[in-house]
């Protein structure tokens, strides 16, 4: 699928330490490159949207976070392969389409287009591979066929609706050196069970070998879209297999970082990793990075609750997208936080102050500022601390008459994606 137009990312002289990122799987901060190969190619997979509603601040915070990772790697002189999916067929999308009387394909296409516009406005570098679930069905069928052949997948007898042919993943049999249940999330069984039911799983389905086994292939049902799955029968893919297969088809195995919001740790990233490892015996990614949840008025911002602040709405109201981006950057990506009007107002104020101060920037102060920003970003993408460094610089007496302005402008763009 077409992504969006790539922004020019300025190249800035100087060097930065290797980026370290908190790995959910190990519970520690880890370098994203070997010490002796600081500029080794990097690869990133970030779980994309389910396009049934517009981009809210939670989505934006997540994609801007991984954009910071992308930019930090580019600044380290690394080539970056980046894949993002679009879950363009799944229960919530079909339910919304049915409820609103819109064709699910039109709903998805409209929302993906709005997402592209939001991402472009926020100066997010697009993925090279932007792949829809529907587009990946031909890739995914042979994966599931192989899993069935190796008995790490199995057919479940018809449930209440009498439909035969649903295929599930055998979590216990699939355990191998590269994955076992809990490898990614580290959660105990009780926590897994809770999240599985809350986040699209069906622990109650009869005939499964383990209540936590996830769906790989859903046999065709009346009124639901379906595709030819060869020996699987007609149907549509489960959710986790979509991301494993798209990642395996477009990135190295393992790739460097698997990313998404913390709501995806379990079951989604757990089983995406499990499916891939079951097929080729390799880990999905070397590191799993997760963003905290953004909320509004005391609740997680979510399409199902409807408590949303939309990027497109703020843009339509004339808010500078760079102020939106600065507001997102003002909170650490790993914390859960709440969007407020005050955060946006403060970001607008900061941008205005910086735009004013830059005219007097000298070269030495510019170089010193970039060094500070690089150090903070290399330490688990500490964007709030990087913005504080910019604030501190802006409070100092100007040392020049603009010789350093271009360097600061380029640096803030290259490293933070902020255009002054
Ligand atoms: N299509 C799947 C991933 S394969 C999905 O989760 N789609 S989504 O539209 O629900 O979310 C898109 C991305 O935004 C995911 O990475 C998700 O973890 C993240 N996200 C969703 N809600 C929030 C939130 N309130 N705060 C931060 N990130 C969020
Ligand atoms: Zn995903």
30-to-21, 41, 289 alpha-carbon distances in Å: 5, 17, 11
For range 263-289, the mean pLDDT: 98
Is 318 strand, coil or helix? coil
For range 241-267, the mean pLDDT: 98
User: What is the rounded CA–CA span in Å between residue 166 and residue 7?
Assistant: 43
- Whether 129 is in the pocket of ligand 1, judged by its Cβ within 6 Å, is no
- pLDDT digit string, tens, across residues 370-412: 999 999 999 999 999 999 999 999 999 999 999 999 999 999 9
From the CA of 264, how far away is ligand 2's center (Å)? 8
From the CA of 55, how far away is ligand 1's center (Å)? 10
User: What is the rounded CA–CA span in Å between residue 37 and residue 309?
Assistant: 41
- pLDDT digit string, tens, across residues 101-111: 999 999 999 99
The strand ranges marked E within 249-314 are 255-261, 285-291, 294-296, 299-300
Phi, psi of 391 (to 5 degrees): -60, -45
Q: What percent of the chain has a predicted confidence (pLDDT) above 90? A: 96
For the chain, how many residues are written? 420
Q: Cα 420 to the chain's mean position, in Å?
A: 26
Pairing outcome for strands 234-237 and 215-219: antiparallel
Phi, psi of 102 (to 5 degrees): -110, 145
Using alpha carbons, select from 136, 354, 177, 148 the residue that is nearest to residue 283: 177
Pairing outcome for strands 255-261 and 42-46: parallel
pLDDT at 281 over 90: yes
From the CA of 268, how far away is ligand 2's center (Å)? 7
User: What is the rounded CA–CA span in Å between residue 243 and residue 247?
Assistant: 6
- Whether 59 is in the pocket of ligand 1, judged by its Cβ within 6 Å, is yes
413-to-41, 99, 206 alpha-carbon distances in Å: 22, 42, 53
- Whether 331 is in the pocket of ligand 1, judged by its Cβ within 6 Å, is no
The pLDDT value given to residue 298: 86
From the CA of 38, how far away is ligand 1's center (Å)? 30
- pLDDT digit string, tens, across residues 18-31: 999 999 999 999 99
Is the Cα dihedral 296, 301, 303, 308 positive or negative? positive
- Whether 47 is in the pocket of ligand 1, judged by its Cβ within 6 Å, is yes
Atom of ligand 1 nearest to the CA of 85: 4
- pLDDT digit string, tens, across residues 170-210: 999 999 999 999 999 999 999 999 999 999 999 999 999 99
Look at ligand 1, atom 3, and give the residue with the nearest C-alpha.
47
- Whether 65 is in the pocket of ligand 1, judged by its Cβ within 6 Å, is no
- Exposure b/e, 328-345, CB count within 10 A at least 16 = b: bbbbbbbeebbbeeebbe
Residue ranges of alpha helices (H) inside 235-382 are 239-250, 270-280, 311-316, 321-329, 341-357, 363-378
User: What is the rounded CA–CA span in Å between residue 347 and residue 341?
Assistant: 10
Q: Cα 270 to the chain's mean position, in Å?
A: 15
Instruction: Please report which confidence band the pLDDT of residue 306 belongs to, taking 50, 70 and 90 as the band edges.
Output: confident
Q: Cα 326 to the chain's mean position, in Å?
A: 19
Residue whose tokens read 């963003």: 291
DSSP 3-state helix, strand, coil percentages of the chain (rounded to 5)? Answer: 45, 15, 40
Between 228-232, 303-307, 316-320, 385-389, the lowest mean confidence (pLDDT) is in 303-307
DSSP H or E stretch at residue 116: helix 104-121
The burial of 317, by beta-carbon neighbours within 10 Å (0-12 exposed, 13-18 middle, 19 or more buried), is given as: exposed
- Whether 411 is in the pocket of ligand 1, judged by its Cβ within 6 Å, is no
Most distant CA pair in the chain: distance in Å?
77
Using alpha carbons only, give the angle 280, 282, 285 rounded to the nearest 5 degrees.
Answer: 130
The pLDDT value given to residue 300: 81
277: which 2 tokens?
């490892």
The pLDDT value given to residue 304: 72
The answer to whether 327 touches 344, Cβ cutoff 8 Å, is yes
- Exposure b/e, 365-388, CB count within 10 A at least 16 = b: bbbbbbebbbebbbebbbbeebbe
Query: How many of the other CB atoms lie within 10 Å of CB of 165?
Result: 17
DSSP H or E stretch at residue 141: helix 137-149
User: What is the rounded CA–CA span in Å between residue 323 and residue 177?
Assistant: 46
More confident residue, 323 or 301: 323
Look at ligand 1, atom 6, and give the residue with the nearest C-alpha.
49
């Amino acid at each position: 699928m077409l992504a969006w137009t790539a922004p020019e990312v300025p190249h800035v002289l100087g060097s930065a330490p290797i980026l370290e990122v908190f790995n959910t799987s190990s519970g520690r901060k880890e370098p994203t490159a070997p010490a002796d190969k600081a500029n080794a190619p990097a690869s990133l997979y970030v779980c994309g949207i389910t396009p049934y509603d517009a981009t809210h601040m939670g989505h934006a915070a997540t994609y801007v976070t991984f954009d910071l990772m992308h930019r930090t790697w580019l600044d380290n002189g690394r080539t970056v392969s980046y894949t993002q999916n679009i879950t363009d067929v799944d229960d919530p999308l079909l339910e919304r389409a049915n409820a609103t009387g819109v064709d699910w394909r039109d709903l998805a296409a409209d929302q993906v287009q709005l997402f592209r516009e939001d991402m472009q406005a926020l100066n997010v570098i697009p993925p090279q591979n932007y792949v829809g679930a529907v587009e990946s069905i031909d890739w995914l069928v042979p994966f599931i066929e192989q899993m069935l052949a190796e008995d790490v997948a199995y057919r479940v007898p018809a449930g209440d609706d009498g439909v035969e042919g649903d295929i599930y993943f055998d979590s216990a049999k699939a355990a191998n050196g590269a994955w076992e249940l809990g490898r990614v999330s580290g959660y105990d069984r009780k926590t897994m069970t809770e999240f599985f039911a809350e986040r699209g799983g069906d622990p109650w389905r009869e005939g499964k070998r383990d209540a936590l086994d996830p769906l790989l292939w859903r046999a065709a049902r009346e009124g639901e879209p379906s595709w030819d799955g060869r020996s699987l029968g007609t149907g549509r893919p489960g959710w986790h297999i979509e991301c494993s297969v798209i990642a395996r088809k477009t990135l190295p195995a393992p790739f460097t970082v698997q990313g998404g919001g913390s709501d995806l740790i379990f079951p989604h990233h757990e089983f995406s990793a499990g499916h891939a490892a079951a097929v080729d015996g390799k880990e999905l990614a070397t590191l799993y990075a997760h963003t905290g949840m953004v909320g509004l008025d005391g609740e997680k911002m979510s399409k199902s609750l409807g408590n949303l602040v939309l990027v497109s709405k703020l843009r339509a109201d004339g808010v500078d997208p760079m102020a939106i981006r600065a507001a997102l950057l003002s909170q650490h990506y790993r914390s859960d936080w709440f969007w407020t009007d005050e955060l946006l107002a403060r970001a607008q104020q900061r941008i205005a102050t910086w735009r004013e101060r830059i005219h007097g920037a000298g070269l030495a102060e510019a170089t010193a500022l970039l060094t500070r920003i690089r150090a903070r970003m290399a330490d688990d993408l500490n964007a709030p601390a990087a913005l504080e460094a910019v604030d501190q610089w802006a409070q100092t007496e100007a040392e020049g008459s603009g010789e350093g302005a271009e360097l600061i402008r380029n640096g803030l763009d290259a490293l933070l994606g902020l255009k002054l």
